[in-house]
Amino acid sequence: MAAKRKSDVSVPAEESDQLLIRPLGAGQEVGRSCIILEFKGRKIMLDCGIHPGLEGMDALPYIDLIDPAEIDLLLISHFHLDHCGALPWFLQKTSFKGRTFMTHATKAIYRWLLSDYVKVSNISADDMLYTETDLEEGNTRKRGFVLGLPRGPCWGAMFMIEIAGVKLLYTGDFSRQEDRHLMAAEIPSVKPDILITESTYGTHIHEKREEREARFCNTELLLILDEYWQNHPELHDIPIYYASSLARKCMAVYQTYINAMNDKIRKAINVNNPFVFKHISNLKSMDHFDDIGPSVVMASPGMMQSGLSRELFESWCTDKRNGVIIAGYCVEGTLAKHIMTEPDEIATMSGQKLPLKMSVDYISFSAHTDYQQTSEFIRALKPPHVILVHGEQNEMARLKAALIREYEDNDEVDIEVHNPRNTEAVTLNFRGEKLAKVMGSLTDRKCVQGQRVSGILVKRNFNYHIVTPSDLSSQLHIDLCPPPPPLLSQLRSLAGDVEQVEGTEKITIRIFKSITLVHEAGMVLLEWIANPLNDMYADAVTTVVLEVQSNPSAQKFPEAKRETFDMDVFVERLALMLHDMFGDDCVNFKGGEDLSVTVDGVTATINPETRLPYGVAGTAAREKGERNCCVSTVLYSKIERARAKSQADERKMRRMSNGGKS
């Protein structure tokens, strides 16, 4: 059988039914989340993070595979470094010109978090992705804020994106379990066509919160919870510290956004501030720490690659009386992940080898969903396509297999699960039903099944509308070439008499006896012989055309009744105005003759019939052609104002004679 020949016709990107999702990071790995979405000519970037286990340029997503200038929109789900750590670099060091969106709470903490990251990074200045200056400059760039769907115990948002009727939900990191201060992630009321979700824990199931905290109690390390300390006076002699200036700043942000907390915190704040701890104090640095006797220190960063947590670990790891608890997910290549394998020794930041004798425990308080929460979330939404990201290769594969097994025998739900590697694209086809909405005067008639509707089909932002030509401007704000009647009326208001040229296929009008206007379908064409005076007339006509085009009320304005023009009255008033403007010595006018004005040796003669300056004389006129144009322009402007005033006075007199009626 012969192979099908590929079409030679290329489909424009905005018309294509193919939707492409490509992870530039977090594809079968945890870290540097960065997902590219392409559909209908639009390109959106979801998150822009760094890899916690890598340094410098190696920690970035695979940005070199795209053109940042083509990205229309960048959405940041939350403030974790693996989701936003590369944002300052992307804003300052690439050609990206689009807009960035995040929640207010995310932005408030994001700035402090990245500043802390710059300070504690243990690499040379040449390898740093960005500096404090880059952070400040990036912070001044135009950035939007959105109210996304709450995504659980780490402030941020899920994003529901809709393009041409296709809905995509991006979860970022999320959890369906409420913690001690933040609410659980919401299940959207709208069913998405595509779900991009994390797979950090694969098929693992978290302990219940009560069991987790009981394990802390059993090891006598629930000291991080102020309420537990309050209820056990025998522990008051053992100090608790949180060793992070970042945590102190973040708690100030928490108190600002109390309404984003769960019900327990919102009720407690009416009685006392739950973020003012009675038994926990801030440890600014190791210089302020007296390492005498037992104590509990909450230190960051959690993966212990650098900073105060690394210093404390290297100081305490050789004593078996000490212990460390890893409370969150750890990425491959980090010290926290390494010590969970129970090695006999570790390497310090200076390269020294130290024996590992302290106890190591892992009790997850991670803001990531487990298999039970993920499967329930998918079960509630039933999206046709699930894209797994943000998970180690093996964990992601196990989660994919479990989800496929769950739905393989379900005839009512058809779900396709994808787990792309970094830079691997998932291509989906969406050819939905296209609906056109009838608008404007077409809706005045009652619709009958099978009745033919005649109008113009307009496509805008993936929406279709049917309107009459006259409704294009008022209903859809589409400026078209104005129709002849209102245009003719406005041109008469400008120039007085206009001449309609007979015997031509197209509507042709002569204005000022020098400008030819040709009205074609969808276009107005102006023609004139170029000189300073005609150029001025052409500018005036162009202004009228644009005004009628952009102003619907001008198009609907009925053409005014032509008024009789009294030439004698007009010439008399024109002469008075010129006498007043230039002085009696400059104006030469006798009844029945042309009117002339002489200024600085330049004479302009006016024909009262046409009301145009048609001649100049004098030595200065021959030497200063530009001056002639200026005099003519001023005269024409004054003449038109005199004519308008004359007509206004005549209308006023008629109203007075009719008893005030128009």
Please pick, among 368, 385, 390, 465, the residue that the annotation labels catalytic: 368
DSSP state of 82: H
Q: Which residues sit opposite 18 in a β-bridge?
A: 429
- Of 101, 136, 51, the residue nearest 333 (C-alpha): 51
3-class SS of residue 207: coil
**Number of neighbours of residue 189 by Cβ within 10 angstroms:** 7
Tokens read off for 433: 């039903």
Residue showing tokens 């540097």: 32
Alpha-carbon distance of 92 to 72, in angstroms, equals 16
Alpha-carbon distance of 174 to 328, in angstroms, equals 14
- Of 409, 552, 404, the residue nearest 486 (C-alpha): 552
Tokens read off for 396: 């992601």
Q: What are phi and psi of 260, to 5 degrees?
A: -90, 0
Alpha-carbon distance of 360 to 330, in angstroms, equals 13
Q: Is 204 a catalytic residue?
A: no
Strands 523-527 and 515-520: antiparallel
Alpha-carbon distance of 96 to 90, in angstroms, equals 7
List Cα–Cα distances, 92 to 23, 130, 492, in angstroms. Answer: 22, 9, 55
Alpha-carbon distance of 477 to 487, in angstroms, equals 18
Alpha-carbon distance of 656 to 662, in angstroms, equals 9
Alpha-carbon distance of 245 to 465, in angstroms, equals 56
Catalytic residues: 368
